[in-house]
């Protein structure tokens, strides 16, 4: 039931190596606005190899740190990201980054989604997991694929990308507190959609427990599934091992972040454990 994982391709692979040796590409912030509660929309003018939906970049703030970020869009040389405030680097970006500031990027990295060529797709996102799904929805629409997006947020105040997604697909919203759309977890919206409508592929990005739930739904309906995972990452090029999935030894940065349903169903720690900054296995919240 897998969709073939899409390789970054020889051109990207070569240039990823080049970028690693040559350092980061320099970008100028051309947009920084609060998109939702605790979420910054950052637009960076930067020269990158054309990314695939589902790939990510490493965003570096000199003197502060470097973090992996999904690509919500790359259009006309402008990279769009949606950044939740978490700790040191994301907090700095929220508090200090304004138009004109210079930031640095390496990538794009990893294996993206394999967008189907025709038919109907269900996209299930939680929080900033909506970001790579927006880029994917653009690709699917270009191919004439009919999309439905089920997007879950903590509350209406936390919702992002609703207008942008509505231009590309039908959107169903879920919020934990019921302040917008369905009141409850987004996988319950996905369950209803999958029981009432026919889909040729299901794509997901968001908290791992949500991904695990949607994987089970897709499996029970026999629909091909892919999901993008977020793990603690340091090098992003497959060397440090901090993002390894047990027991397969797959690295989220290099072998993912997008994995097929077949692979994910063999990941024992999916939705349960991950490695922290010190490499310790800790339960996922
Ligand atoms: C492939 C990939 C794509 C991502 N895309 C996005 C995105 O589009 N938008 C977005 O807001 N975030 C995204 N993340 C998560 C983002 O990289 C982390 O939130 C960020 O690294 C935290 O850095 P910090 O210095 O602010 O926090 P830190 O000070 O390092 O940590 C603060 C807290 O955040 C937790 N944390 C650290 N790294 C991660 C992580 N990778 N995932 C989840 N929790 C983490 C820590 O355990 C700690 O509790 C992505 C992660 C990956 C691996």
CA gap 64, 80 in Å, rounded: 21
Lowest mean pLDDT among 2-16, 81-95, 179-193, 198-212: 2-16
pLDDT in tens, 68-112: 999 999 999 999 999 999 999 999 999 999 999 999 999 999 999
Ligand 1 atom with the shortest distance to the CA of 92: 26
The Å distance, Cα 232 to ligand 1 centre, comes to: 7
Question: Using CA atoms, how far apart are residues 148 and 222, in angstroms rounded to an integer?
Answer: 18
Prediction pTM value? 0.89
Q: Where are the domain boundaries for CATH 3.40.50.80 in the chain?
A: 113-222
Q: What is the DSSP letter of 54?
A: T
Please indicate whether residue 233, judged by its CB atom, sits closer than 6 Å to ligand 1: yes
Taking the C-alpha atoms of residue 12 and residue 108, their distance in angstroms, rounded to an integer, is: 8
CATH 2.40.30.10 boundaries in the chain = 9-109
Q: How far is the CA of 254 from the centre of ligand 1 (A)?
A: 17
Using CA atoms, how far apart are residues 253 and 90, in angstroms rounded to an integer? Answer: 19
Query: Could you confirm whether domain 113-222 is CATH 3.10.150.10?
Result: no
| Residue nearest to ligand 1 atom 32, measured at CA | 87
CATH number of 9-109: 2.40.30.10
What is the pLDDT, as a whole number, of residue 9?
34
Q: What CA–CA distance (Å, rounded) separates 48 from 40?
A: 21
């Amino acid at each position: 039931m897998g969709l073939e994982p899409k390789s970054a391709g020889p051109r990207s692979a070569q240039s990823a190596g080049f970028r690693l040796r040559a350092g980061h590409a320099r970008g100028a912030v051309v947009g920084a606005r609060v998109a939702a509660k605790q979420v910054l929309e950052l637009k960076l003018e930067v020269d990158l190899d054309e990314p695939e939906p589902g790939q990510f970049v490493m965003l570096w703030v000199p003197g502060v740190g470097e973090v992996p970020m999904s690509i919500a869009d790359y259009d006309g040389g402008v990279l769009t990201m949606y950044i939740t405030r978490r700790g040191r680097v994301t907090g700095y970006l929220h508090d200090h980054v304004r138009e004109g500031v210079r930031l640095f990027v390496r990538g794009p990295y990893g294996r993206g989604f394999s967008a189907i060529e025709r038919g109907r797709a269900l996209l299930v996102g939680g929080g900033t997991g909506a970001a790579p799904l927006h880029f994917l929805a653009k690709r699917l629409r270009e191919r004439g694929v009919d999309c439905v997006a089920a997007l879950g947020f903590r509350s209406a105040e936390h919702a992002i990308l609703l207008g942008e997604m509505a231009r590309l697909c039908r959107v169903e919203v879920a919020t934990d507190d019921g302040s917008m759309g369905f009141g409850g977890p987004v996988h319950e919206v996905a369950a209803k959609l999958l029981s009432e409508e026919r889909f040729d592929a299901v794509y997901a990005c968001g908290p791992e427990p949500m991904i695990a739930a949607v994987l089970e739904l897709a499996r029970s309906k026999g629909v091909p599934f892919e999901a993008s995972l977020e793990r603690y990452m340091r090098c992003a090029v497959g060397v440090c091992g901090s993002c390894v999935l047990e027991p397969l030894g797959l690295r989220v940065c290099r072998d993912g972040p997008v994995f097929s349903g077949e692979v994910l169903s063999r990941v024992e720690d999916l939705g349960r454990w991950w490695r922290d900054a010190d490499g310790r296995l800790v339960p996922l919240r």
